[in-house]
Structure 1
Amino acid sequence: MPVLPSLQNSSFDTDIRDRHLIYDYAVQTPQGDTEKWRYEMWFYNEDRIVYAIHGGPMAGRQNFQTATYQCIRRGELWQCNWLEETGTICSLVYDIPNKRITTMLGFSQGHWEHNQEAHGDKRNPQDLARWRGLAKIGTQVDRKLLSEQADIVEDFRGPGRLKPIEMSWPTL
């Protein structure tokens, strides 16, 4: 996939490429308690992301996707968007100087209501097939929107504990 015009002459290589973030959401439960949901994101290259979810209802999920990136403010703000096999729409804004992640997730009804079935690793054909089945539950308007902010607790380059991917592997 060619580099998008929004990345040409940008600070993508300096700001995003091969960057690995581990971040925690502090989510308010219906009971008023605060839960930590840990996520891990590796901005693999100009059109792929690799991630794992370690906390919250989606804990146990490992995935990689085709993503689009756009620079909002060079050296400061980047947006990354992708669509999952479950039908979930994801949008993430990375605030570099403030070490914050802001996300908007549009979970498909199947993904949200059957989150245990959304666990697993995309590299496993059974997990991938199950995830695609979740996308068939509900309609475009049957979505659970979740907007949250997270604090970055680790920021480094490279895969860390995430598994590298092959560019030839299919994505949605």
Structure 2
Amino acid sequence: MPVLPSPDAVPFEQDIKNRHLIYDYDVPGAQTDSGKDEKWRYEMWFHSEDRIVYAIHGGPMAGRYNYQTASYQCVRPGEIWQCNWLEETGTICSLVYDIPNRKVTTLLGFSKGHWTQAEAAHGDKRNKEDFERWRQLAKVGIQTDRHMLAEQASIVEDFRGAGELKDIDVSWPTI
């Protein structure tokens, strides 16, 4: 999928390529087992022009490690970028990265299988059993059986490179 507009027209290399964000969602009403307010921590690495790598460390999807084909769109160079992808579970993801305000805003359309069987959606895509289980989650329900979740997160860390995430080979297939 191409970067829109083309990478030559916008500062993709400068703004987004190889950028790594760790961010926390403050989800109203989300609490730990001990009753404390829970932050849902996510980690996103904008790996290359058509791939993202991420890990989820908090919330119902904690314990999920994935990489995916993604499309990038520059809204305002140096300020706002959008990244979109589709997961094996059937979940549709759209992330807006607001660079100067250090915010991430997302809209996720979780498949019924992914949302209602969150534990089964945990694991690492590199593990064949996890990958196959995720593909089965996409078959639960029908396309309109989705849980829509719109949230905003604050960026905790912003740096370049893989960090603790495992690198990928861009030749590896995605859906």
TM-score (norm 2): 0.94
SS in structure 2 of the partner of residue 126 of structure 1: helix
Matches of 1:29 and 1:10, distance apart in 2: 39
The alignment yields a C-alpha RMSD, in angstroms, of 1.6
Deviation readout 1:93-141 (Å, 9 max, x if unpaired): 0000000000000000000000000000000000000000000001111
Q: Percent identity?
A: 70
1:24-63 deviations in whole A, cap 9, x for unaligned? 0000127897420000000001100000000000000000
CA offset digits 1:70-91 (Å, max 9, x no partner): 0000100000000000000000
Distance of aligned partners of 1:30 and 1:101 in 2 relative to their CA distance in 1, 3 Å threshold:
closer
Structure 2 residue aligned with 1:138: 141
Gaps of 5+ in 2: none
Q: Specify the SS of the correspondent of 1:29.
A: strand
8 Å Cα contact 1:50-1:64 kept in structure 2: yes
Counterparts of 1:55 and 1:30, CA distance in 2: 10
Is the 1:6–1:71 contact (alpha carbons within 8 Å) kept by the matching residues of 2?
A: no
| Whole-Å separation in 1 of the counterparts to 2:100 and 2:65 | 27
Q: Normalization by structure 1: what TM-score?
A: 0.95
Q: Which residue of 1 aligns with 2:95?
A: 92
What stretches of structure 1 of length at least 5 have no aligned partner? none
Aligned to 2:12: 12
**Higher mean C-alpha displacement, 157-166 vs 22-31:** 22-31
